[in-house]
């Protein structure tokens, strides 16, 4: 097992990465200090891993809530179900929520923990690659609004993150690829070496080779922890983690939160951000090609086919980075270097969204 720390003063917490962690009762007991524990999971993950986790936590007063599976359930209704259960169980302020599942479970369970009695502890036990490299770390919790992704939420840090890389063994290939999109993102915004490593090792990741996965998860969590430690509330550098997300969230919203996986939307959004950067003369055509090739090799979609460009711009206007100066985007100046900047004029974005290549 390897342990990283996310340093936030008295709210610092460990990120444990390794094999077999959800059955490690000593680690679980150390990580979940509370007596009252509600495990929140979903109908897909529960039959695979719930019993193991419950066994590991047998010295605690543990209850479980099994949610329906899917991004379309990342809603205020689901949030209310979790809070209802905590009240039914008469859980106190020193209780703990354990989120066992992917980013959907982590985000909604985290938001319930952020709100119940004005905030109780929660532990993230992420079981998708995307959640292991991104959503379980950093304390962003949220549910979706029908008109915009993650519109309702809070910053609330977990007390611990337990990443059991063995759980990736049951993950469908499409979900694995979705997680790779966020790893590519780290390479693109801050770590050209990681991007080069991905170019050389992408097939090892898609084949679930344990050492390659462990390297990618460790490196990604290291980058995310460092960024969040520097800018917890996204006043500056943390916004870079949204590369591809303004386009991507719009794709997810327009698809009714069922068509695109989050990571797929981020992959296509990243290609659109790269193409916008190229159109502005900031990124070379060769770098654009390298980005698209890598995402394709990971099995990810790279074109927003069938999506209306005007609808996209309307949905993008609801992005959380939009301020009184208008829409802002994360764009690339090189592989490994990104900036948060005012969006270019509408016509440029429309051309990019329509797939009109134009010139630099
Ligand atoms: P997800 O939670 O929907 O999980 C994907 C699918 O895999 C689901 O069907 C799930 O039941 C299943 N699953 C989970 N673990 C499994 C396992 N080990 N074996 C088999 N199946 C398994 O999706 P996701 O990609 O994990 O997360 C996407 C969500 O995360 C989005 O809502 C996105 O907005 C959010 N997100 C949040 C942050 C953040 O910082 N909070 C960052 C990135 C993404
Ligand atoms: N996934 C973006 C962030 O955590 O800031």
pLDDT tens-digit profile of 110-127? 999 999 999 999 999 999
Q: What is the pLDDT of residue 321?
A: 77
| Residue 352 φ/ψ, nearest 5 degrees | -65, -45
Is the minimum distance from the CB of 185 to ligand 2 under 6 angstroms?
Answer: no
Catalytic residue among 149, 238, 278, 279: 238
Burial class (CB within 10 angstroms; exposed 0-12, middle 13-18, buried 19+) of 200? exposed
Is the minimum distance from the CB of 262 to ligand 2 under 6 angstroms?
Answer: no
Q: Is 140 a catalytic residue?
A: yes
Q: What is the pLDDT of residue 1?
A: 95
pLDDT bucket at 66, cuts 50 / 70 / 90: very high
| Residue 288 φ/ψ, nearest 5 degrees | -60, -45
Q: What distance in angstroms lies between residue 294's CA and the mean position of ligand 2's atoms?
A: 22
More confident residue, 294 or 358: 294
All structural domains of the chain, each given as residue ranges with its CATH number in brackets, are 2-170 (3.40.50.1970), 187-353 (1.20.1090.10)
**Cα Rg of the chain, angstroms:** 20
- State how far the Cα of 132 lies from the Cα of 178, in Å rounded to an integer: 12
Long-range contacts of 87-90 (CB under 8 A, 24+ apart): 89/36, 89/38, 89/63
Ligand 2 atom with least separation from CA of 224 = 4
Beta bridge mates, 40: 65, 99
Q: What is the pLDDT of residue 229?
A: 98
Provide mean pLDDT across the span 86-115. Answer: 98
Provide mean pLDDT across the span 206-220. Answer: 97
Q: Is 242 a catalytic residue?
A: yes
More confident residue, 356 or 198: 198
Q: What is the pLDDT of residue 324?
A: 77
Q: What is the pLDDT of residue 231?
A: 98
Q: Is 224 a catalytic residue?
A: yes
Ligand 2 atom with least separation from CA of 241 = 2
Average pLDDT, the chain: 96
Percent of the chain exceeding pLDDT 70 equals 99
Q: What is the pLDDT of residue 360?
A: 56
Q: What are the pLDDT digits (tens) for 139-191?
A: 999 999 998 899 999 999 999 999 999 999 999 999 999 999 999 999 999 99
Q: What is the pLDDT of residue 322?
A: 82
- State how far the Cα of 153 lies from the Cα of 265, in Å rounded to an integer: 21
- Does the pLDDT of residue 217 top 60, yes or no? yes
Which residue owns the Cα nearest ligand 1 atom 27?
103
């Amino acid at each position: 097992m390897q342990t990283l720390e996310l340093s936030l003063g008295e709210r610092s917490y460990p990120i444990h990465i390794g094999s077999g962690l959800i059955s490690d009762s000593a680690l679980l007991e150390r990580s979940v200090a509370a007596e009252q524990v509600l495990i929140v999971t979903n109908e897909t993950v529960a039959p695979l891993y719930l019993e193991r986790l419950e066994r590991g936590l047998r010295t605690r007063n543990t209850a479980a809530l099994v949610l329906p599976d899917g991004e379309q359930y990342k809603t205020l209704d689901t949030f209310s179900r979790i809070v209802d259960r905590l009240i039914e169980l008469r859980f106190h302020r020193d209780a703990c929520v354990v989120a066992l599942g992917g980013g959907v479970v982590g985000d909604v369970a985290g938001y319930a923990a952020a709100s119940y009695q004005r905030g109780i502890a929660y532990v993230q036990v992420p079981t998708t690659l995307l959640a292991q490299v991104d959503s379980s770390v950093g304390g962003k919790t949220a549910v979706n609004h029908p008109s915009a992704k993650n519109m309702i939420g809070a910053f609330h840090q977990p007390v611990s993150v337990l990443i059991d890389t063995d759980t990736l063994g049951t993950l469908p290939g499409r979900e694995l690829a979705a997680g790779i999109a966020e790893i590519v993102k780290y390479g693109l915004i801050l770590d050209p070496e990681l991007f080069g490593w991905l170019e050389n090792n992408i097939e090892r990741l898609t084949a679930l080779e344990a050492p390659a996965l462990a390297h990618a998860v460790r490196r990604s969590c290291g980058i995310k922890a460092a960024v969040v430690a520097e800018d917890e509330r996204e006043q500056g550098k943390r916004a870079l983690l949204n590369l591809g997300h303004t386009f991507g969230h719009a794709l997810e919203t327009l698809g009714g939160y069922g068509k695109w996986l989050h990571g797929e939307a981020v992959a296509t959004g990243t290609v659109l951000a790269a193409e916008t950067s190229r159109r502005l003369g900031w990124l070379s055509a060769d770098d654009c090609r390298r980005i698209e090739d890598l995402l394709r090799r990971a099995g990810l979609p790279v074109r927003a086919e069938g999506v209306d460009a005007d609808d996209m711009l309307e949905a993008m206007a609801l992005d959380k980075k939009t301020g009184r100066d208008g829409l802002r985007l994360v764009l690339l100046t090189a592989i490994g270097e990104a900036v948060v900047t005012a969006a270019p004029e509408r016509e440029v974005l429309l051309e990019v969204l329509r797939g009109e290549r134009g010139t630099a």
